[in-house]
Amino acid sequence: MSSRVTLKQIARELDVSVMTVSRALNNRSNVDHSTRQKVLETAQRLGYRPNHIARSLVMNKTNTIGVIVPEITHSFFPEVIRGIEQTVHQNDYQLILMHSMENQEREAQAITTLESKRVDGLLISTAETVENYENYQKLIDESYPLVFFDRCVFDIGASCVGVNDRTSAREVTEHLIEHGYKKIAHLHGPEKVSIGKNRLDGFLEAMQQHDLEVRDDWLVPSALQEKGGYQAMNQLLDLPESSRPRAIVAVNDPSAFGAMHAIYEAGLDVPDDFAIVGFSDDIRAKLMSSPLTTIRQPAYEVGKKASEKLISLIEDPEEEIEQLIVPTELVVRESCGCPAEEETHKMSRFMEFAE
């Protein structure tokens, strides 16, 4: 640690120049075979570890990408990170992980830090409280490689990998409609976050297309965590019984869980009193006492695609900006009170690995 071995030491040991050692270690062509052997040997013997810091300084390249996620507690983002890790590792990059805690200020800090660390590119999923896109705009103006994932920012000149939130939200809403529900409420996310706006749009589209009334007080803002859904649902429960909705489209699964909690707490039931659907297929969705109908997002895939795009962007400045959509899948379970074919076996609710 204190006495880290350097090129110089190897050079002195063998009485050659630093350059020869550098070349030998970097597999350059113009080094005599026997010299290279000797260098490799001594490097090994001395326990040489190349100093990436020095290398990065001169090469102006760190082979590191920064990842900013808004939260990391449950299943979605860890799974995305797994996907990112995989690609990044295969391409000889590393990943610095930062965590905005759904907070714009911490996100801004994270960006600054990562810039200072001279990461080669950035992967961002915007925080819930993001109010403006200045920080992103600055990055793009400096043509810093940047790819958004899951929560996108459009029309700003950055690539994004996500799902088609609007279409998927419409699909899940239509599923409710097709099964006879007419009084449908939406617990919607923040409008500045793409998933909030797009899922709301998808919901509205489905409702309009089927000529269903969208009451103002059935559009309840919900934060993206359990608590948000809980509070939003309680707002609906405060309505006189006659003007309550019969079904709920939640902006995501955690929000739906929170809503379910509020429903049970009020002594009511899912799906008998309220049908409810979520979005993202959280690991817990299928395990709920009334398993949640939801939209499955291929998180691993999102991470993989996003990091692949970013690395292309880094390595080829000609690489074009684009929006990548990974397909989702409607997963019908009991919470919507529609006949589902899925998941008959007690335990298959849980297991997927079985050979």
Partner DNA sequence: ATTAGGTATGTAAGCGCTTGCAGCAGGAGT
Partner DNA sequence: ACTCCTGCTGCAAGCGCTTACATACCTAAT
Chain residues binding DNA by CB under 7 A are 4, 6-8, 15-20, 22-23, 25-26, 29-33, 35, 50-51, 54-55, 57-60
Q: Which is nearer to DNA, 51 or 143 (CB)?
A: 51
Q: Which is nearer to DNA, 29 or 242 (CB)?
A: 29
**Which regions of the chain does DSSP assign to beta strands (E)?**
64-69, 94-99, 121-124, 146-149, 159-162, 184-188, 219-221, 247-250, 275-277, 294-296, 323-325, 329-331
The label of the residue with tokens 């659907």 reads 277
- 90 in helix, strand or coil? helix
Tell me how many residues contact its own copies (CB under 8 A).
64
- Tell which positions 276-295 bind its own copies, by CB under 8 A: 283-284, 287-289
Preceding amide of 339 cis, omega within 30: no
- Give the amino acid at 85: E
Cβ at position 298, least distance to its own copies in Å: 14
Piece of the chain touching its own copies by CB under 8 A; list 27-35, 256-264, 272-280, 320-328: 256-264
Bridge partner list, 325: 162
Q: Which is nearer to DNA, 3 or 242 (CB)?
A: 3
Angle at CA of residue 327, ends 325 and 332, nearest 5°: 145
Choose the one of DNA, its own copies, none that binds residue 73, judging by a C-beta under 5 to 8 angstroms depending on kind.
its own copies
Choose the one of its own copies, DNA, none that binds residue 46, judging by a C-beta under 5 to 8 angstroms depending on kind.
none
Encoded one letter per residue, x for contact with its own copies by CB under 8 A and - for no contact, window 33-62 reads --------------x-xxxxxx-xx----x
The residues, any chain, with a CB within 8 Å of residue 345's CB and separated by 6 or more, are none
Chain centroid, CA 81 distance in Å? 7
Cα–Cα distance measured from residue 21 to residue 7, given in angstroms and rounded to the nearest whole number:
6
Choose the one of its own copies, DNA, none that binds residue 62, judging by a C-beta under 5 to 8 angstroms depending on kind.
its own copies
Tell whether residue 8 is a contact of its own copies (CB under 8 A): no
Q: Which is nearer to its own copies, 191 or 287 (CB)?
A: 287
Tell whether residue 74 is a contact of its own copies (CB under 8 A): yes
DSSP class per residue in 1-45: -TT---HHHHHHHHTS-HHHHHHHHTT-SSS-HHHHHHHHHHHHH
Q: Tally DSSP H helices, then E strands, for the chain.
A: 12, 12
Choose the one of DNA, its own copies, none that binds residue 345, judging by a C-beta under 5 to 8 angstroms depending on kind.
its own copies
Cβ at position 142, least distance to DNA in Å: 14
Choose the one of DNA, its own copies, none that binds residue 26, judging by a C-beta under 5 to 8 angstroms depending on kind.
DNA
Tell whether residue 103 is a contact of its own copies (CB under 8 A): no
Cα–Cα distance measured from residue 148 to residue 151, given in angstroms and rounded to the nearest whole number:
7
Q: What are phi and psi of 132, to 5 degrees?
A: -150, 170
- Pick the binder of its own copies from 104, 113, 137, 235 (CB under 8 A): 113
The residues, any chain, with a CB within 8 Å of residue 134's CB and separated by 6 or more, are none
Q: Which residues bind its own copies (CB under 8 A)?
A: 1-2, 47, 49-54, 56-57, 62, 64, 72-75, 77-79, 81-82, 85, 89, 94-99, 112-113, 115-118, 138, 142-145, 225-227, 230, 257-258, 260-261, 264-265, 283-284, 287-289, 345-347, 349-351, 353-354
